[in-house]
Structure 1
Amino acid sequence: MTDFLRRKLIQAAGSAAALGPFAIGSVSAQQKGDIVIAASQPITGIFAFAGTAMNNGLNDFVLWKNANGGVAGRKLRYVSEDSGFKLDQGVAIFKKLMASEKPSFFYGDSTQWAKAVAQDAVAAGTIMTSSTSLASSMADPTGMPQHFVPGPIYGSMHEILMEYIAKTWSKSDKPKIAYVYADTEFGRDGIPAGKARAEKLGLPIVTEIVTKQAGIDVAPEVAKLRRARPDIVIFQGYILAPMPEFVRQMREAGLQSQVMGTAWGLDKPAYDALGAMGESLAGVSPYRYGHETDSTMINAMRDFGAKNRPDMKNISPFYISSWLSGMVFAEVADRCIKANKPLTLPNMKAALESMKEWDSGGIFGTLVDLSKHQAPVGRIYRYEPKTKTMEPASSWLKV
């Protein structure tokens, strides 16, 4: 944590203690009326397919929660604007809505956004943030005290993946693993943790291939894979392309490697595209999928969508992730209100860190510990060609 952030957090804590239940000004305003959740969402632009789902998920959670009594008798109110996945626009939305709406919670569109607003968020002392990002740097109770990750960070997912591989492959003939990842923060994140866990488990990483995010000639990279002949190829940092072209050329080169990934790389566009090629994509998902029926909360999403979004044929992980963030926001607010504490950052951070056995309604298949500002659990899923869905291939794993 920078000296600036540390000073501001201490000042906020001191102010909250001094004001207590008789706080005035912005803190007083938070103790009555609606609890505001604001958002900067990429509803247009290159990530509109995800941003629309995230905006719908958080909006729908607020409507569902209010229909089920709200938070300690108070209503939630959701306000959002379109960032277009542009950092300057997202930061401007944060400043605008902070001034006009006085939110207690704010949801953003990226790792960069969360970092860019961090100093202002901590200085305000009245806001908690989250975002779609699962970046390792976002789960930092000291350096990013105002922020939480709605799931496991990428490092945790790669560790879970290595543990699964070690347990399910022959111990006498350990599989050779290749990493293929984009030269972006999204792509690089989690790889060091995965490599460290692989070394600990005696799993050989035989090659690493780093590519541009787009516009890639994969032929030279497939040649490297052919020389290394891995049993497993793990992709990171892609949502779809260039995975299908990689796999097509790998098969043409005689490679039968199992294709694996994490989180957003296991969404419907990826498993549909690879499934159409006869491939069985597998990997670590932070959440149950939208078609599963053994989660009361995902069932609630599906019921809400059937009544209010009849055109929504698939509940995407982006929708689930933002709905889940809304659940955490609501739980933090509920714990503060029931303890008769104002919604200040120190109080909200303490409430979040008290969530050590939190029930997500089955979005995670086990009680989760959010005290480290992430939920380090995940499950291996594998594509099932008969149903054209991702189905469980393991129990829920923790690291």
Structure 2
Amino acid sequence: MKKRIFSTLVLVLSLFLCMGVSFAGEAIKVGAGQPITGRFAFAGKHIHQGLMDSLSYANEQGGVGGMNFKYIYEDTGYDLKRAIASFKKIMAQDNPVMMYGESTGVGKAMAPEINSRYHVVYGSTSFSEELADREKNPYTFVSGPTYSQQFGVLLKYIAAQPKKNNKPHRVAFFYSDTEFGRDPIPFARQLAKKLGIEVVAEEVTKVGAVDITSQLLDLKRNKPDYCIFQGYVVPPIPEVIRGAKDFGLDIKFMGTFWAMTKMLLDKLGPDGEGYMGVSPYSYWYMDEVPMIQAMHAYSKKHHPDVAYRPSSYMQGWFTGMIYVKLAKLCNEAGLPITGENLKNMIPKVQNWDTGGLNGVVSFADSNATATGKVYKAQGGKFVAVSDWIKLDE
């Protein structure tokens, strides 16, 4: 009888271990394949640091239910095959309950196995609409609004602005011929029509295009009031903005998250004045934001020589906040912290005060926040010109 009970206990324990359960007193494992080197390292190294610091900060605040977070990572070099191999290696060796990936490509490639085999909550650098689809990818979330939702925030902002001569706002979409660039465009077309905004031009280029003469001539011909960039980080944005000025065009240029960085403003110099866009996060220099204050205090203690953190760091930090929030919801519900239970907590994140870093967040209709703020460049910094805009309101 005792032998049978012992065998049953061993079997149950083995099942829990295979599921990646975190027990009180143990570590809550978070795995990550980070693009610390490679062509995305300019952002990846900051995302990595932000996520690591966010989890460390949570540990300093007491962790969750007597458990601290353990961050396990590998450098993927922004290489898809290497990133997939790192994902599988970390899952096999450490069996974390949460994972982080370097790109949209990794998320889409691993989605079938995440859903059917690994059952691990997954975040990444991506704001892909597909990855935030709760029905297709219930274990996956994005750390802010999707690219479509970011476009939606900008279009909603534009629709609320005074019209010229009482005529509909005229908007151009300027995007790269990549999955990253094309992702939100179908949604943006539909929403623009719904909001009474005319899409008068769609300019498509290769990433980092140098010759944008034909696109500038098309903008001159169609005379948009606004032009929204998608699928770029820096080039060809400075060339487009300067070229438009040379042509005497009166266009308000805007960008989504990856085109809302200090790096871009530094490249633009004086030509960046008045540039606008949407970001899911507050900026490092916004001292009045409670979570930014907490980040400054943490940085002063652990990284005293750091003077500035870019938006990519904010993305990493906020992702860490989501991991911690999901773990706390499991703990409050009296549930073990497993990938399955963490996944079930994502829709339960409602009206969550993020200390001003990302407004008040709800994962309502998808595994994305649908919330962003519109900023305008003034004196080399971004200043808010809107409150937090919720696309689903």
Shorter-chain TM-score above 0.5: yes
Q: Distance in 2 between matches of 1:367 and 1:147?
A: 16
CA shift for structure 1 position 148: 0.4
Amino acid of the residue matched to residue 371 of structure 2?
V
Matched, 1:300 2:297: no
Q: Specify the SS of the correspondent of 2:354.
A: coil
Change (3 A) 1:377 1:278: closer
Q: Distance in 1 between matches of 2:364 and 2:44?
A: 24
Contact 2:98/2:339 (<8 A) preserved:
no
Match of 1:240, SS?
coil
Q: Which residue of 1 aligns with 2:280?
A: 286
Structure 1 CA distance for aligned equivalents of residues 94 and 331 of structure 2: 20
Q: Which amino acid aligns with 1:100?
A: Q
Q: Does residue 203 of the first structure (1) align with residue 203 of the second (2)?
A: no
Distance in 1, matches of 2:251 and 2:20, equals 59
Q: Do the aligned partners of 1:274 and 1:281 also contact (CA within 8 Å) in 2? A: no
Question: What corresponds to 2:369 in structure 1?
Answer: 375
CA RMSD of aligned residues (A): 1.9
Deviation at 1:74, TM superposition (A): 0.4
Alignment of 1:1-399 (within 5 A): 24-27=16-19, 29-32=21-24, 33-170=26-163, 172-277=166-271, 279-369=273-363, 372-385=366-379, 388-399=380-391
Whole-Å separation in 1 of the counterparts to 2:16 and 2:155: 51
Provide, for residues 33-55 of structure 1, a one-character-per-residue CA deviation record: whole Å limited to 9, x for no partner: 10011100101111101010011
C-alpha displacement of 1:250? 1.2
Aligned-partner SS, 1:277: helix
Per the TM alignment, residue 311 of structure 1 is displaced from its structure 2 partner at its CA by 3.7
Once the two structures are TM-superposed, the CA of residue 346 in structure 1 deviates from its matched residue by: 3.1
Give the Cα–Cα distance (whole angstroms) in 1 for the partners of residues 243 and 319 of structure 2.
Answer: 39
> What residue identity is the alignment partner of 1:94?
F
Once the two structures are TM-superposed, the CA of residue 353 in structure 1 deviates from its matched residue by: 1.1
Contact 2:128 2:146 in 1 (8 A): yes
| Structure-2 change in CA distance of 1:125 and 1:39 (3 Å) | closer
> Which stretch shifts more, 111-120 or 204-213?
111-120
Partners of 1:182 and 1:215 in 2: how far apart?
Answer: 9
How far does residue 23 in structure 1 lie from its aligned partner after superposition? 5.7
Residue 21 of structure 1, CA deviation: 10
Q: 1:312 to 1:384 in 2, by over 3 A?
A: same
Q: By how many angstroms is 1:234 displaced? A: 1.1
The amino acid across from 2:159 in the alignment is: A
Q: Contact 1:122–1:345 (CA<8 Å) still a contact in 2?
A: no
Structure 1 residues 326 and 236: CA distance shift in structure 2, 3 A: same
The corresponding residue for 1:16 is none
Give yes or no for contact 1:355–1:371 (8 Å, CA) kept in 2.
Answer: no
Q: Which moved more, 1:314-323 or 1:364-373?
A: 364-373
* Unmatched segments (≥5 aa) in structure 2: 1-10
Question: C-alpha distance in 2, partners of 1:260/1:28?
Answer: 43
CA distance in 2 between partners of 1:397 and 1:111 (Å)? 25
**Matched position secondary structure for 1:217:** coil
Distance 2:262 2:270 in 1: 12
8 A contact 2:173–2:229 mirrored in 1: yes
Which residue identity is paired with 1:258? K
Q: In 1, are the aligned partners of 2:208 and 2:232 still within 8 Å (CA)?
A: no
Structure 2 residue aligned with 1:12: none
Aligned residues: 379
Relative distance call for 1:365 and 1:44 in structure 2 (3 A) is same
Whether contact under 8 Å (1:181, 1:211) holds in the other structure is: yes
User: Equivalents in 2 of 1:201, 1:371: separation in Å?
Assistant: 21
The whole-number CA distance in structure 2 between the counterparts of 1:370 and 1:332 is: 15
Q: What do the CA deviations read for 1:350-387 (whole angstroms, capped 9, x no partner)?
A: 111111121212112234335621100111100112xx
State the partner residue of 1:3. none
1:190–1:306: structure 2 CA closer, same or farther, 3 Å change rule? same
2:47 aligned partner, one-letter code? M
CA shift in 2, pair 1:259/1:163, >3 Å: same
| Cα distance in structure 2, aligned partners of 1:39 and 1:92 | 12
**DSSP-derived class of the 1:390 partner:** strand
CA distance in 2, matches of 1:248, 1:364: 32
